[in-house]
Amino acid sequence: MMLQNILLASVLALLNVRQGEGYDNILFWVMIALWIIMPVFIIYEELQGRRALAEAEKSTDG
């Protein structure tokens, strides 16, 4: 219910803004979020890959 209210409030806020400044703010933060998702995923995947390789190497040496 709380989530619905927040969503409804956001949509109403969007609809009530005539000049587009409200849209601009939201789009700006959506853009930043999209910008952040990619490096976070890349770093996560890169670290996982390197860790797995290091473990495989350690098991080989052992």
Residues that bind another protein (CB under 8 A): 2, 5-6, 8-10, 12-13, 18-32, 34-35, 37-39, 42-43, 45-46, 49-50, 52-53, 56-57, 59-60
Name the minimum Å distance from CB 25 to another protein.
4
Name the minimum Å distance from CB 12 to another protein.
8
Spatial separation of the C-alpha atoms in residues 59 and 62, rounded to whole Å:
5
Spatial separation of the C-alpha atoms in residues 53 and 25, rounded to whole Å:
43
Name the minimum Å distance from CB 35 to another protein.
5
Task: Write the CB contacts of 26 (distance below 8 Å, at least 6 apart in sequence).
Answer: 14
